[in-house]
Amino acid sequence: MIRITGRPARIPKLLEVYEAMQSYLKQVGMNVEINVVEAGVRTALTNCGMGKAVSEVVAARGGDAAKDVGTLADMEAAVKKGGANCPTGDLIENEPSNETLDFGRQANFYMSCLFPRSLICDPSPGGIQSQIAPALAASGAERQRLLSVLADKMHDDVLFVGMFDLPVLYGVNPKLNFKPRFDGRVRTQTMWFNP
């Protein structure tokens, strides 16, 4: 069974979208249930990712999961144990918005072994985890280049179903220099404001 989980009255027509998804999935033989929950329940479900698994590994080795940052070895152990003991088979609504025009938040939230919401953990040498901190610490063109690599990795290699998107209209501000791409990707590093 797959549960489609979200918060009530968060997005206009949310329930209707869930019902449409349920119908489409049932037509191809999947058993789907809609689960509308209060915000606290949804938060508990979304904070059950790799960061929680790493905290469990830190606690199991005698560390303080609230204070100690997991090491690469802890991250590898979390991956080997299969992540946190979380419910699986859910599609949980999320809006990975990017009003700041910077991919740093998304890289940290959804691709880091240390963030509770992330379902991605790549602690291998040269892997995603080792790329996040340098990208977040960089500035200017170097930050744009490093975050573009992570954004492309998420776009090309990660199954992330964004069911809703905030209707941000970048082209409305006359000072914004922005040319939409044919492929629909929004590359914020190609945008800038005139003084």
Q: Are strands 176-177 and 192-193 parallel, antiparallel or unpaired?
A: antiparallel
Residue located via tokens 């968060």: 10
Q: Is 172 exposed, middle or buried (0-12, 13-18, 19+ CB in 10 A)?
A: exposed
What residues contact residue 49 under an 8 Å CB cut-off, 6+ apart? Answer: 83, 84, 86, 115, 116, 117, 118, 119
Kindly report the backbone phi and psi dihedral angles of residue 113, in degrees, each rounded to the nearest multiple of 5, phi listed first: -65, -20
Q: What is the pLDDT of residue 86?
A: 72
Are 129 and 121 in contact, with CB atoms under 8 Å apart?
yes
Q: Work out the average pLDDT over 175-193.
A: 76
Q: Work out the average pLDDT over 118-131.
A: 91
Is the pLDDT at 87 greater than 90? The verdict is: no
Query: Which pLDDT band, with edges at 50, 70 and 90, does 142 fall under?
Result: very high
For 93, the enclosing helix (H) or strand (E) is none
| 5, 28, 111, 165 from 93: Cα distances, Å | 6, 21, 17, 10
Residue 115: name the closest of 104, 99, 101 by CA: 104
Q: Work out the average pLDDT over 138-164.
A: 85
Query: Which pLDDT band, with edges at 50, 70 and 90, does 55 fall under?
Result: very high
Q: Work out the average pLDDT over 80-102.
A: 70
Higher pLDDT, 80 or 48: 80
Are 3 and 17 in contact, with CB atoms under 8 Å apart?
no
